[in-house]
C-alpha cells in the first residue's frame, strides 16, 4: 500500500534555527515536493524550561526567506491542528492513559532527590527492568495508594515500560537496518504531571501518527531515540502506519573534526544561522546568512549538497532542479564538512545570474551606507558600474570595494602604485593625455582605446607606465575593470577632472 507522502519539520523553539536544522527542513521539503507530498510545520514546545520567545517567528521567517513552503501547520492552519504541542494537552492525556491501562506504561513518584540517591548508590543506574521494582511507582504500590497520592496532588511522571532482551530494528532509508537491544534502553519519562505535558518522545509519536506522517526526516542526533519510538508505535498498535525513518548525516566542522558549532562560525567568520538573531535575554546579536549578504538561492543550493548529491557533479541547481533530482539514494551516511568557502562560491555564482538592474537595486542601500546618495546618479549609471565589477564579488557589499570610485573621486592614491608608476615626467605626460582626450572622436570604449594607444605608440611612451598612471588618477589604485569601460561610463568631464586632480596631488616618491 503506497501512502501519500507527508513529512513534517518539527523544531523546538529553544533559540534560533541552526543551519543544520535549515538543512533538515530543506531535505523534508525537497522530498515532499519530489513525491507530490505535503510538508507540515509543527512546533515542539513541550519543554517550557527551554522555551525562547521569538524563536517560533524566527523559524517561520527563515523558511519563508529560503523559499521552503509549508502546506500545513503553525502559521498556516490545516485539518490536524493545533500544531503547537503546548496546545494539544487534551489529546496527549488520552494516549498516556491508554498506555497505562494497557500495562505499557506506569506511574512513578520518585522525587528528584530519590533518583539522585539511586544514581549515587548504583553505578550507571538506569530506571529499567533491573531497577524499577525497587523504586516508588505503580508497579510497587497498591492501586489505592497510587490513587490516594494522585488525589493528594503528589507530583508524578509516567514512564514507558520497556521489556528487556528484545532486538529493536530501526529501518532507516539512508542507514539501512539499525538494530538495538531493548535492554540498553531506560524507561523513558513520557509525561509529567507537574506541567501536565508529555515529553518530546510521546508528543512526537502521537503527533506523527495523528498527522499521518509517512516519513520522519531529521538529524542524526535523533537516531538514539528512534528505537524507543519504534517501541512506542508498537505499544500503541500503530506499527502498520509507522513512518519510514531518515536520519541525516551530521554537519561537521570545516576541518571535519567534530560537530559544527556556533563557535566554529565565530572563530572562522561565517554565520551558523539563516537570519540574524537577537537574543531576547542577553541582547547579543548572532550573524545570519541573510544579513551577511547571501542570496537565499545560494544558501539553499549550498546546503542541499551538504550530505546529498544528484548522482553526478552538477553543482548549480535551482530549487526546482533540486526537487526534480532529490532522493535519499544519493544521501550519505558520513558527516558532511561545512565547507563555508564553498558557500561564498555559490553566492558569487548566483550573484552573476541576477539581472544587473536588480543588483543595482541591492547596491543602493550600500551606497547610502557609505554616504553616497544614489539619487545623484542615474539608474543606468549605477547599473553599468555594477555590471563592470560584479565578476569580482562574493557579496553585494563587496560592490563597494570594487565600485566606490565610480561614485567618488579618489582622495588618496595607493602609495605602492605611486612609487612604481608615478615617475617625475608623469605629470607632464598626464597633461598631454588630457589634451589628447579632449580631441577624442569618440568616448566609446573600443574607439577611445584605439586612439589613445595609437597616441602612446606615436609618442614612444611606455604603454604600461602611462596606462597605469592614468588609472591611478581615476581609480586611486592600479586595479579595476577595463580602463576605457570606466572612462566611457564616467564621461570626459569627470575623467579629465580626476586626471588634473592627480597631477596636482600625487607626489612622486623621490
Q: Does the footprint of ligand GLU cover residue 172 (CB under 6 A)? A: no
Q: Tell how many helices (H) and how many strands (E) occur in the chain.
A: 19, 15
Burial class (CB in 10 A: 0-12, 13-18, 19+), 427: middle
Tell which one of 5, 6, 7, 10 touches ligand GLU (CB under 6 A). Answer: 10
3-class DSSP state of 245: strand
**In degrees rounded to 5, what are phi and psi of residue 179?**
-110, 135
3-class DSSP state of 216: strand
Tell which one of 23, 33, 188, 218 touches ligand GLU (CB under 6 A). Answer: 218
Cell of 79: 485539518
# of chain residues touching ligand GLU (CB under 6 A): 8
**Shortest Cβ distance from residue 9 to ligand GLU (Å)?**
8
Q: 192, 259, 262, 333: which is the annotated catalytic residue?
A: 262
Q: Which of 234, 197, 185, 151 is nearest to 44 (CA)?
A: 197
Binding mask 25-54 for ligand GLU (x = CB under 6 A): -------------------x----------
Q: Which of 271, 246, 309, 281 is nearest to 65 (CA)?
A: 271
**Shortest Cβ distance from residue 10 to ligand GLU (Å)?**
4
Point out which span in 8-16, 244-252, 330-338, 404-412 binds ligand GLU (CB under 6 A).
8-16
**Shortest Cβ distance from residue 297 to ligand GLU (Å)?**
25
Q: Does the footprint of ligand GLU cover residue 227 (CB under 6 A)? A: no
Determine if residue 212 is left, alpha or beta; phi over 0 gives left, psi from -120 to 50 gives alpha, anything else beta: left
- Neighbouring residues of 177: CB distance < 8 A, sequence distance ≥ 6: 169, 170, 171
Binding mask 188-217 for ligand GLU (x = CB under 6 A): ----------------x-----------x-
Point out which span in 5-13, 141-149, 233-241, 262-270 binds ligand GLU (CB under 6 A).
5-13
Report helix angle 445-459 to 483-505, nearest 10. 50
Tell which one of 5, 6, 12, 205 touches ligand GLU (CB under 6 A). Answer: 12
C-beta of 24 vs 182, nearer to ligand GLU:
24
**Shortest Cβ distance from residue 225 to ligand GLU (Å)?**
7
Give residue for cell 532529490: 326
**Shortest Cβ distance from residue 326 to ligand GLU (Å)?**
18
Rounded Cα distance between 261 and 257, Å, is 11
The CB density around residue 209, as the number of other CB atoms within 10 Å, is 17
Tell which one of 5, 7, 11, 325 touches ligand GLU (CB under 6 A). Answer: 11
Q: Which of 36, 460, 401 is nearest to 214 (CA)?
A: 36
**Shortest Cβ distance from residue 86 to ligand GLU (Å)?**
13
Q: Does the footprint of ligand GLU cover residue 222 (CB under 6 A)? A: yes
Residue 333 falls in the annotated catalytic set: no
CA distances from 75 to 43, 60, 84, 272 (A): 10, 8, 10, 25
- The residues that touch ligand GLU, with contacts defined as CB under 6 A, are 10-12, 44, 204, 216, 218, 222
Q: Which residues are catalytic?
A: 262
Amino acid at each position: 500500500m503506497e501512502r501519500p507522502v507527508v513529512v513534517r519539520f518539527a523544531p523546538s523553539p529553544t533559540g534560533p534555527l541552526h543551519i543544520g536544522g535549515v538543512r533538515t527542513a530543506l531535505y523534508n521539503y525537497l522530498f515532499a515536493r519530489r513525491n507530490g507530498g505535503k510538508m507540515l510545520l509543527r512546533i515542539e514546545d513541550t519543554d517550557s524550561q527551554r522555551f525562547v520567545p521569538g524563536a517560533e517567528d524566527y523559524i517561520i521567517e527563515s523558511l519563508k526567506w529560503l523559499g521552503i513552503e509549508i502546506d500545513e501547520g503553525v502559521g498556516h492552519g490545516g485539518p490536524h491542528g493545533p500544531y503547537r504541542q503546548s496546545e494539544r494537552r487534551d489529546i496527549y492525556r488520552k494516549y498516556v492513559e491508554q498506555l497505562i491501562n494497557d500495562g505499557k506504561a506506569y506511574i512513578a513518584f520518585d522525587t528528584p532527590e530519590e533518583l539522585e540517591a539511586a544514581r549515587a548508590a548504583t553505578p550507571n543506574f538506569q530506571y529499567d527492568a533491573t531497577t524499577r521494582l525497587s523504586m516508588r511507582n505503580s508497579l510497587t504500590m497498591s492501586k489505592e495508594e497510587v490513587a490516594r497520592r494522585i488525589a493528594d496532588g503528589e507530583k508524578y511522571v509516567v514512564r514507558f515500560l520497556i521489556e528487556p532482551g528484545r532486538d529493536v530494528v530501526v529501518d532507516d532509508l539512508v542507514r539501512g537496518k539499525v538494530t538495538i537491544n531493548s535492554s540498553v534502553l531506560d524507561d523513558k519519562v513520557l509525561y509529567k504531571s507537574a506541567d501536565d505535558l508529555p515529553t518530546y518522545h510521546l508528543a512526537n509519536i502521537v503527533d506523527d501518527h495523528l498527522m499521518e506522517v509517512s516519513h520522519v526526516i531529521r538529524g542524526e542526533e535523533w537516531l538514539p531515540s528512534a528505537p524507543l519510538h519504534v517501541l512506542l508505535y508498537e505499544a500503541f498498535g500503530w506499527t502498520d502506519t509507522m513512518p519510514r525513518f531518515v536520519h541525516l548525516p551530521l554537519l561537521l566542522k570545516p576541518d571535519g573534526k567534530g560537530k559544527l558549532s556556533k563557535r566554529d562560525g565565530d572563530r572562522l567568520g561565517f554565520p551558523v544561522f539563516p537570519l540574524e538573531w537577537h537574543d531576547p535575554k542577553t541582547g547579543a546579536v548572532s550573524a545570519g546568512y541573510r544579513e551577511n549578504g547571501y542570496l537565499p538561492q545560494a544558501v539553499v543550493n549550498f546546503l542541499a549538497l551538504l550530505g546529498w548529491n544528484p548522482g553526478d557533479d552538477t553543482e548549480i541547481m535551482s530549487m526546482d532542479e533540486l526537487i526534480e533530482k532529490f532522493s535519499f539514494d544519493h544521501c550519505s551516511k558520513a558527516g558532511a564538512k561545512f565547507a563555508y568557502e564553498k558557500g561564498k562560491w555559490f553566492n558569487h555564482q548566483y550573484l552573476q545570474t541576477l539581472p544587473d538592474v536588480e543588483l543595482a537595486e541591492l547596491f543602493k542601500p550600500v551606497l547610502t551606507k557609505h554616504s553616497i546618495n544614489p539619487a545623484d546618479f542615474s539608474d543606468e549609471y549605477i547599473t553599468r558600474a555594477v555590471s563592470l565589477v560584479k565578476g569580482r564579488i562574493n557579496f553585494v557589499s563587496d560592490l563597494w570595494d570594487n565600485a566606490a570610485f565610480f561614485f567618488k573621486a579618489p582622495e588618496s592614491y595607493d602609495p605602492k602604485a605611486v612609487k612604481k608608476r608615478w615617475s617625475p615626467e608623469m605629470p607632464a605626460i598626464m597633461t598631454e593625455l588630457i589634451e589628447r582626450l579632449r580631441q577624442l572622436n569618440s568616448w566609446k570604449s573600443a574607439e577611445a582605446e584605439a586612439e589613445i594607444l595609437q597616441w602612446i605608440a606615436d609618442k614612444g611612451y611606455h604603454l604600461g607606465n602611462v596606462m597605469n598612471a592614468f588609472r591611478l588618477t581615476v581609480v586611486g589604485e592600479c586595479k579595476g575593470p577595463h580602463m576605457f569601460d570606466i572612462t566611457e561610463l564616467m564621461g570626459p568631464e569627470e575623467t579629465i577632472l580626476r586626471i588634473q586632480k592627480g597631477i596636482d596631488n600625487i607626489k612622486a616618491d623621490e
